[in-house]
Structure 1
Amino acid sequence: MASDTSTPKHASPAGAGGDDGDLLVLDDVQAGYGRAAMVLRGLTIRVPASTVVCLVGPNGAGKSTVLKVASGLLKPASGKILVGGKDVTGQGPQQMLGSGLAHVLQGHSVFREMTVQENVMLGAYSLRDKAQIAERVAFVQNLFPIVGERWKQLAGLLSGGQQKQVEFARSLMVSPKVVLLDEPSMGLDPKTTTKVFEQVVRMRDAGVAVLLVEQNARRALETADIGCVLDLGRVHITGPAPELLADPQLSELYLGGRPGEVKADA
C-alpha cells in the first residue's frame, strides 16, 4: 500500500495542484477538540469549481471534522481556509454562509410539520430582494422538480429521498459557491441513495462545487470527480475518482472489496 511518501502513480500528494479555479482551499489545517485531541494534522484539500470532491477513509480519519472546519463550526488551530481566493479563516458559520459555503448536515433536517415551501424559504432568510428570491426559487424548482411539484405540501409527507432534495434546495437559496454534504445517504435504501447521488451530479452540472463525506465510499467515488483518501488526519492520496476506484490496494483497504465490486446492500 502506498504511504505518504510513496503513492500510486495516478495519485497526487496532498495539496498538489490547484489554481485560480479552486473555490475552496483548506491549507495546512490543524484542528481538533482540544490541545490533546488534534484530528486534522496539516491537512490540505482543494475543491475546484463545478467539481464533486469526496473524502473517504476509515472511521476517525477526520472526514466530518473537515466539513466542520470548512463551515465554521470548528475553528482551526492553524492553517488557512480560502473561499474564492479570500481568506476566511476563523469565521463562524453565518459568516461562512455569506462567503459562499452552505453545509447540509448529517441526518434529516427537514421540518416535517412545515410545507416544502416553508422549509426551502428558510434558506433565503438573509435575502431581501424579492426578485432575487424569486429567481432562486425558480432555480431550485427547475433543478429539483419534486420540490416544485410538492411546494405546498407538508414536508413530512415526502419520502426520505424527496426530503433530501428539499434540504439540497434550501442550501442553494443563497447561491453558494460550495456545498458541503455530510453523509447524504444516511438512513436511505439503495434505490433512494442512487437518486440522491443523481441530484448531487445535477448540482455540480448547475455550476455548484461539492465537498462530500459519505459512508458508502464506493458509491461516493462513483459519483465524484476527485477523491481524497484521509488517514490519521491527513490527505494520504488524492486523484481522479475513477482511478482511485480502480486501484486494488485502495479498494482492499478503504472500499471493502475488489475494484468495481458493488455489494447488493451498498
Structure 2
Amino acid sequence: MASDAPHANEPSVPETENLLELNDIEAGYGRAALVLRGLTVKVPPASVVCLVGPNGAGKSTVLKVASGMLTPRSGTIRVAGQDATRKGPQAMLESGLSHVLQGHSVFREMTVEENVRLGAYTVRDKAHIADRIDFVKTLFPVVGDRWDALAGALSGGQQKQVEFARSLMVNPRVVLLDEPSMGLDPKATSTVFEQVVRMRDAGLAVLMVEQNARRALETADLGCVLDLGRVHISGPAADLLADPQLAELYLGGRPRPSSGDDAPTTSEEHTHA
C-alpha cells in the first residue's frame, strides 16, 4: 500500500539514497557532558531501523536530534539528501519527519476523529486532508472503526494506533517512534509492532527506539546497538539477533538457533570504547 499523495515539499530522491542521515553527531543538554559522541545512523526508504541499548545509551536523544528538538553540537543531519542540521521542529516536520513521543499522547476527552485531525492542523488543503484520513483509516482499521468514540475509551494499544494515524496526517517520509510499546501488555505490544510493519509496507521509513530489544529487532530490517552515545554494532536485524555475544549483553539471553548467517561485525568506525 502506497501513500496516495506525495509530500508537499518533496524533492526527487534517488531510490538508493537514505531518507534520513545523522552523521558524526555530538549532542548533549546544556553544559552537561555529551550524550551522543560521534554517532552515525542512516535510514533507507521503506525500512524499519531500530535503536536498542541500555538505559542512558542516548537512544531517545537520537530522536530529539533527528526531529529538531535538540540541536547537535557538531555533525550533520540530512533529509532526502538535503541538509537539515540546524532546522527546528516545525521545519523538520515540513521536511518530512514526524515524531511520535514516548508514552500516551491522545487527548482522552476528544474523539478519535478530533485527535487524528489535529495531525493536519497546519494543512490547508481540504482534499489532501480527506485523502490522508482515508489512508490512515485503511492502514489502521481500528481508527476507522472507532472514529466517533472518545479516545479515552480505547485500550492502550488502540490509542497508540491513533497516535500513529495522527502522525501520518502530514504525509511524512520518516516516522520517529520513541518506545511505542511502553506500558502495553503483550497482546497490545504485538499489535503495535504489526502496525509498525504496516507503515513500512506502505512505503514509510521508520526510526524506532525500543527498550524491548528482542521484539523490536524481530520487527526491524536494520538494527543499531547504542552504548555510551555511539553505535557499537549495526547491521541487518536478523544478524544482530543471531549474535550470541550481543544476545548476552543486550537482549537478555542467548538467541534462538540461527540459519547460519554470519554474525555482524563491529566496524572500526563504530568500535565500542
After TM superposition, the score normalised by the length of structure 2 is: 0.87
Q: SS of the residue aligned with 1:55? A: strand
1:121-171 CA-to-partner distances (Å, cap 9, x unmatched) read 000011111110110000000000110111111101111100000000000
User: What stretches of structure 2 of length at least 5 have no aligned partner?
Assistant: 1-14, 258-273
- 1:83 paired with 2:79, answer yes
Conservation of the 8 A alpha-carbon contact between 2:17 and 2:81: no
- 1:181 paired with 2:194, answer no
Q: CA deviation at 1:59?
A: 1.0
* Identity over aligned pairs, percent: 77
Conservation of the 8 A alpha-carbon contact between 1:20 and 1:85: no
Q: SS of the residue aligned with 1:38? A: coil
Aligned partner of 2:138 in structure 1 is 142
Aligned partner of 1:165 in structure 2 is 161
- The aligned amino acid for 2:187 is K
Aligned partner of 1:131 in structure 2 is 127
Aligned partner of 1:26 in structure 2 is 22
- Quote the Cα distance in structure 2 between the aligned partners of 1:35 and 1:41: 15
- 1:95 paired with 2:100, answer no
Ranges of 4+ aligned residues in structure 1 off by more than 6 Å: none
After TM superposition, the score normalised by the length of structure 1 is: 0.90
Choose which of 209, 212, 221 in structure 2 pairs with 1:216. Answer: 212
Q: CA deviation at 1:20?
A: 4.2
The alignment yields a C-alpha RMSD, in angstroms, of 1.1
- The aligned amino acid for 1:81 is I
Equivalent residues in 2 for 1:210-249, closer than 5 Å = 210-249=206-245
Q: CA deviation at 1:97?
A: 0.4
- Quote the Cα distance in structure 2 between the aligned partners of 1:196 and 1:76: 30
Aligned partner of 1:114 in structure 2 is 110
Choose which of 67, 73, 76 in structure 1 pairs with 2:63. Answer: 67
Q: CA deviation at 1:215?
A: 1.0
- Quote the Cα distance in structure 1 between the aligned partners of 2:252 and 2:242: 13
Aligned partner of 1:38 in structure 2 is 34
Aligned partner of 2:271 in structure 1 is none
Conservation of the 8 A alpha-carbon contact between 2:43 and 2:49: yes
Q: CA deviation at 1:236?
A: 1.0
Aligned partner of 2:152 in structure 1 is 156
- The aligned amino acid for 1:225 is D
Conservation of the 8 A alpha-carbon contact between 2:53 and 2:211: no
- Quote the Cα distance in structure 2 between the aligned partners of 1:177 and 1:197: 19
Equivalent residues in 2 for 1:181-200, closer than 5 Å = 181-200=177-196
Q: CA deviation at 1:36?
A: 3.8
Choose which of 176, 201, 205 in structure 2 pairs with 1:205. Answer: 201
User: What stretches of structure 1 of length at least 5 have no aligned partner?
Assistant: 1-18, 262-266
- Quote the Cα distance in structure 2 between the aligned partners of 1:211 and 1:37: 25
Q: SS of the residue aligned with 1:180? A: strand
- The aligned amino acid for 2:84 is V
- Quote the Cα distance in structure 2 between the aligned partners of 1:24 and 1:53: 11
- The aligned amino acid for 2:204 is V
Aligned partner of 1:256 in structure 2 is 252
Conservation of the 8 A alpha-carbon contact between 1:123 and 1:174: yes
- Quote the Cα distance in structure 1 between the aligned partners of 2:131 and 2:254: 46
